[in-house]
């Protein structure tokens, strides 16, 4: 299968690309290498793929219709895995217009191009953020969505809605996958676990918002990738599906785990609750198990150990390069 992966140079995108290539698929990776974090990190992510058979990298923006039409007109695309977009709850509070432009306008432009070229299979990266603040757990796909807490969450929910509309109007087959706090090697440097590991080894303070009792359903990237691959193989009709670990943990307990794996004591600075954040996430995985055969396999302790090992290996490599 020839699969177009938007956001193909990002954290999840590069892990996904490796899996797709290993399974014999052709990957058309699209990324605009924007500066929301260091573009050189993304270029390093894709460096190992450049000489692999079946891999093609295109630098361009999904909001540009001409770019997409040229790409779809040149290569026979069987399915699209749409990961591209601005990520992060807190940054979206500062620049909501950019989030709606990229995450909504970009998705609409991509959907229009797919319709023009009669490509009828999409897997979309949504987010647990769409559930907003709620007390009842675990979060189920059938839950009423209201009270979204950030522009990022609204942009992702809007993406789901325009994709559902394309299904209703044009017969698009689409699965919207709600990711629950994805972590693993090469995670974006602004995300909590990457930041905590870096700060622990540097002896810098770690900022925890609130009391440290906020709860997240952390999901290892290999499990997310397995769910995405199964989704693109099985996509039919329209569905919203959670992908998580189903094992939520409090933020302060996460820090204690990282102290153990790094051998460093955290210097914690408590800050007021952050606007846009929610107190908990917790994925119900029964629908993912039923439709995708999805079962997360990497326990948090194992995943954190892999991240710490990866960070140490990277630091050793950088020292040797100097």
Helix 106-116 / helix 151-170 crossing angle, nearest 10 deg: 20
What is the domain count for the chain?
1
User: What is the tens place of the pLDDT at every residue in 220-248?
Assistant: 999 999 999 999 999 999 999 999 999 99
Residue 319 token pair:
């020292």
Per the annotation, the verdict on 152 as an active-site residue is yes
For residue 190, what pLDDT is reported? 84
The CA radius of gyration of the chain, in Å to the nearest whole number, is: 19
Under DSSP, is residue 316 helix (H, G, I), strand (E, B) or coil? helix
Over range 275-297, report the average pLDDT.
95
Catalytic annotation, pick one of 55, 131, 152, 220: 152
User: What is the tens place of the pLDDT at every residue in 150-208?
Assistant: 999 999 999 999 999 999 999 999 999 999 999 999 888 888 999 999 999 999 999 99
For residue 320, what pLDDT is reported? 53
- CATH code at position 271: 3.40.50.720
- Residue 297 class from Cβ within 10 Å (0-12 exposed, 13-18 middle, 19+ buried)? exposed
In this structure, the strands spanning 215-216 and 249-250 are: antiparallel
- Range(s) of the domain holding residue 70: 2-321
What is this structure's pTM? 0.94
For residue 318, what pLDDT is reported? 52
């Amino acid at each position: 299968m020839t699969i177009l992966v938007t956001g193909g140079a990002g954290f999840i995108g590069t892990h996904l690309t490796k899996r797709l290539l290993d399974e014999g698929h052709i990957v058309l990776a699209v990324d605009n290498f924007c500066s929301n974090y260091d573009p050189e990190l993304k270029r390093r992510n894709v460096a190992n793929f450049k000489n692999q058979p079946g891999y093609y990298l295109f630098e361009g923006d999904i909001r540009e219709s001409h770019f997409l039409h040229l790409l779809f007109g040149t290569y026979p695309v069987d399915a699209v895995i749409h990961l591209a977009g601005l990520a992060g709850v807190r940054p979206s509070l500062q620049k909501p217009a950019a989030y709606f432009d990229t995450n909504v306008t970009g998705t609409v432009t991509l959907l229009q191009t797919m319709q023009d070229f009669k490509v009828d299979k999409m897997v979309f990266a949504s987010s647990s953020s769409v559930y907003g603040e709620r007390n009842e757990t675990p979060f189920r796909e059938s839950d009423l969505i209201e009270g979204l807490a950030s522009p990022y969450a609204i942009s992702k929910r809007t993406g789901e809605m325009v994709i559902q509309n394309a299904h209703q109007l044009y017969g698009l087959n689409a699965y919207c996958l709600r990711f629950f706090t994805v972590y693993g090697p090469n995670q974006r440097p602004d995300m909590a676990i990457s930041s905590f590991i870096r700060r622990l080894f540097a002896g810098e303070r770690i900022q925890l918002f609130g009391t440290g009792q906020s709860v997240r359903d952390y999901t290892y990237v290999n499990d997310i990738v397995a769910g995405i691959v199964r989704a693109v193989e099985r996509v039919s009709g329209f569905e919203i599906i959670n992908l998580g670990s189903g094992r939520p943990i409090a933020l302060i307990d996460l820090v204690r785990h990282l102290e153990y794996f790094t051998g460093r004591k955290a210097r914690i600075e408590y800050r007021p609750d952050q606007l846009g954040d929610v107190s908990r996430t917790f994925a119900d995985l029964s629908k993912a198990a039923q439709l995708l055969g999805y079962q997360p396999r990497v326990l948090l302790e194992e995943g954190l150990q892999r991240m710490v090992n990866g960070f140490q290996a990277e630091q050793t490599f950088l020292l040797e390069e100097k």
